[in-house]
Amino acid sequence: DSGVTQTPKHLITATGQRVTLRCSPRSGDLSVYWYQQSLDQGLQFLIQYYNGEERAKGNILERFSAQQFPDLHSELNLSSLELGDSALYFCASSVEGPTGELFFGEGSRLTVL
Amino acid sequence: AQTVTQSQPEMSVQEAETVTLSCTYDTSESDYYLFWYKQPPSRQMILVIRQEAYKQQNATENRFSVNFQKAAKSFSLKISDSQLGDAAMYFCAYRWFGNEKLTFGTGTRLTIIP
């Protein structure tokens, strides 16, 4: 158990819909990262938040947005969903600093029909 | 931009044998970290081993060791005495010292043959 909690674990929805994925980081971790893993692909970095502020942005679509709340949990919002958005979405957290290690949640499997 | 390349989409090894997974990366930075993550069928991303670029000594964690060649920008993972539980996708990842983002390779699927 990494200490990072993601909900829901599975989500099935239709094209054009909007969903919200939730992540609770490990206790004490201020940084939260979101990654997307499409079928048989590597993990693509979407966005990072640190203590409520956006710190880095990767290949995140304009239809996607995220935020980190004062209690440090984070939400990834995906709107106007397309078939190609079907993927495994990982949240990870880390302490600040170049120690390097990210702790990953179990992921949220999104299926868009 | 930093890139990570894993040229072996799939590998297989007999149980109890040794296997080496390859990884190369491209960066202009001198201070960075390299990682191997394991993703079993449970989907959980599990850190296997970490290497700091400033350390010349190769990292070792029990049956897992790396061969880090900084000049060649190569970072291979050796798994000794392979076990059935080692079957998984293995991802190589890079992290620059001044950036907390991890860049992943596309992964190598490792099959263990009983």
Over the stretch A29-65, which tens digit does the pLDDT of each residue have? 999 999 999 986 789 999 999 999 999 899 899 999 9
Higher-confidence position of A59 and A89: A89
C-alpha to C-alpha distance for A46 and A39, rounded to whole angstroms: 16
Per-residue pLDDT of chain B (114 residues; tens, 9 = 90+): 789 999 999 999 999 999 999 999 999 988 899 999 999 988 889 999 999 999 889 999 999 999 999 999 999 999 999 999 999 999 999 988 777 788 999 999 999 999
- Considering A37-46, A85-94, A97-106, the range whose residues carry the highest mean pLDDT is A85-94
- Exposure of B82 by Cβ count < 10 A (0-12 exposed, 13-18 middle, 19+ buried)? buried
The answer to whether the beta carbons of residues A91 and A29 sit under 8 Å apart is no
> Which of B44, B101, B106 has the CB atom closest to A42's CB atom?
B106
Note whether B100 contacts A45, CB cutoff 8 Å: no
Lookup: tokens for B45: 């991303």
**Nearest Cα to A4, choosing from A94, A77, A84?**
A94
State whether residue B104 sits within 8 Å of chain A by CB: yes
DSSP string, A95-112: -SSTT---EE---EEEEE
Closest-CA distance, B19 to chain A, in angstroms, reads 21
pLDDT number for residue A108: 97
For residue A8, cis peptide bond before it (omega within 30 degrees of 0):
yes
State whether residue B8 sits within 8 Å of chain A by CB: no
* pLDDT at position A97 over 70: no
C-alpha to C-alpha distance for B37 and B43, rounded to whole angstroms: 11
